[in-house]
Amino acid sequence: MRSEAMDEFVERVRSESDILSVVASYVPLKRKGNRYWGCCPFHQEKTPSFSVVPDQGFFYCFGCHAGGNVFKFLSLIENVSYFEAIKLQAEKLNISLPQQEKTGQELAKEQRIADLRKIQEMARDFFHSCLTRTRYGIPAKAYFASRDIREDTIAAFQLGFAPDAYEKLHDAFVRRGISESLLLESGLVLKKQSGSGVYDRFRNRVMIPIADERGHVVGFGGRVLDEGLPKYLNSPETVLFNKRRLLFGLDRAHQAIRQEGYAIVVEGYMDAISVYAAGVQNVVASLGTAFTLEQCRKLLRYAPEIYFCYDSDDAGQKATLRALGIVRETGAQVKVLIVPDGKDPDEFIRKHGAAAFQALTKTALPLAEYQIQYVLQHTDYSTLEGKSSALSQVLPVLKESVNAVELNAYVARLTRTLGIDEGIIQSEIRRYSGQPQNAVQTQRAPLRQAVRQVDNAVCRAGRIVIRQVWQDVGALAHLTAMVPLEQFPNRLQGMILRFFAERLQRSEAVQDALAINELGEEAAAELSRALVEDPGGQDLMTAYEDCVRVLRREYLKQLYDEHRLRADAMEREGQDTAALQELAESQRIQKEIKEMDDL
Confidence tier at 451 by pLDDT (50, 70, 90): low
Residues 6+ apart with CB under 8 A from 250: 212, 213, 284, 298, 299
Q: pLDDT tens for residues 267-309?
A: 888 889 989 988 899 999 988 667 888 888 888 888 888 999 9
Q: pLDDT tens for residues 461-497?
A: 999 999 999 989 889 999 999 999 999 999 999 999 9
The answer on pLDDT for 446 being more than 50 is no
pLDDT score of 436: 41
The answer on pLDDT for 438 being more than 70 is no
Q: At what angle do helices 367-378 and 384-399 cross, to 10 degrees?
A: 170
pLDDT score of 443: 36
> Phi/psi at 196 (nearest 5 deg)?
-100, 170
What is the rounded distance in angstroms from the CA atom of residue 84 to the CA atom of residue 240?
Answer: 19
Q: Average pLDDT of the chain?
A: 87
> Phi/psi at 421 (nearest 5 deg)?
-55, 135
Q: At what angle do helices 457-471 and 475-482 cross, to 10 degrees?
A: 150
The answer on pLDDT for 101 being more than 90 is no
What is the rounded distance in angstroms from the CA atom of residue 312 to the CA atom of residue 309?
Answer: 8
What is the rounded distance in angstroms from the CA atom of residue 487 to the CA atom of residue 555?
Answer: 7
Question: Within 10 A of 114 (CB to CB), how many other CB atoms are there?
Answer: 10
What percent of the chain is predicted at pLDDT more than 70? 94
- What is the CATH number that goes with domain 4-79? 3.90.580.10
Angle value at C-alpha 321, between 316 and 325, nearest 5 degrees: 145
What is the rounded distance in angstroms from the CA atom of residue 468 to the CA atom of residue 411?
Answer: 61
pLDDT score of 2: 61
pLDDT score of 401: 62
Residues 6+ apart with CB under 8 A from 486: 494, 498
- When mean pLDDT is compared over 7-11, 138-142, 316-320, 579-583, the highest value belongs to 138-142
The full set of domain ranges for the chain reads 4-79, 104-234, 250-363, 372-433, 457-598
Q: Write the DSSP string, 317-359.
A: HHHHHHHHHHHGGGT-EEEE-PPGGG--HHHHHHHH-HHHHHH
Closest CA to 76 of 60, 57, 93, 92: 60
Fold topology of 250-363 = Dna Topoisomerase Vi A Subunit; Chain: A, domain 2 (3.40.1360)
Q: Write the DSSP string, 196-248.
A: S-EEES--SEEEEEEE-TTS-EEEEEEEESSS-SSSEEEPPP-SS--TTT--B
Q: Higher-confidence residue: 165 or 598?
A: 165
Residue 70, SS3? helix
What is the rounded distance in angstroms from the CA atom of residue 22 to the CA atom of residue 70?
Answer: 7
Q: Higher-confidence residue: 20 or 535?
A: 20
pLDDT score of 445: 40
The answer on pLDDT for 153 being more than 80 is yes
> Phi/psi at 365 (nearest 5 deg)?
-90, 140
- What is the CATH number that goes with domain 104-234? 3.90.980.10
Q: pLDDT tens for residues 553-587?
A: 999 998 888 888 888 888 888 888 888 888 888 88
The answer on pLDDT for 448 being more than 70 is no
| CATH 1.10.3470 corresponds to the domain 372-433 | no
Q: What is the DSSP letter of 41?
A: S
The alpha-carbon radius of gyration of the chain (Å, integer) is 31
Q: Higher-confidence residue: 556 or 401?
A: 556
Return the bridge partners of 282, or none. Answer: none
Strands 58-61, 50-53: parallel, antiparallel or unpaired by DSSP?
antiparallel
What is the rounded distance in angstroms from the CA atom of residue 129 to the CA atom of residue 445?
Answer: 40
pLDDT score of 289: 66
Closest CA to 364 of 401, 310, 318, 288: 310
Cis ω for the linkage preceding 230 (within 30 of 0)? yes
What is the rounded distance in angstroms from the CA atom of residue 495 to the CA atom of residue 29?
Answer: 32
Q: Higher-confidence residue: 54 or 323?
A: 54
The answer on pLDDT for 253 being more than 60 is yes
pLDDT score of 572: 87
pLDDT score of 288: 66
Q: Write the DSSP string, 572-597.
A: HTT-HHHHHHHHHHHHHHHHHHHHHH
What is the rounded distance in angstroms from the CA atom of residue 380 to the CA atom of residue 569?
Answer: 78
Strands 35-38, 30-32: parallel, antiparallel or unpaired by DSSP?
antiparallel
pTM: 0.62
Average pLDDT over residues 243-261: 91
Pick the CATH number of 457-598 from 3.40.47.10, 3.30.365.10, 3.90.870.10, 1.10.860.10: 1.10.860.10
The answer on pLDDT for 441 being more than 60 is no
Average pLDDT over residues 192-215: 92
> Phi/psi at 409 (nearest 5 deg)?
-65, -40
What is the rounded distance in angstroms from the CA atom of residue 247 to the CA atom of residue 515?
Answer: 35
The answer on pLDDT for 511 being more than 50 is yes
Is-same-fold flag (4-79; 250-363)?
no
Confidence tier at 437 by pLDDT (50, 70, 90): very low
What percent of the chain is predicted at pLDDT more than 90? 42
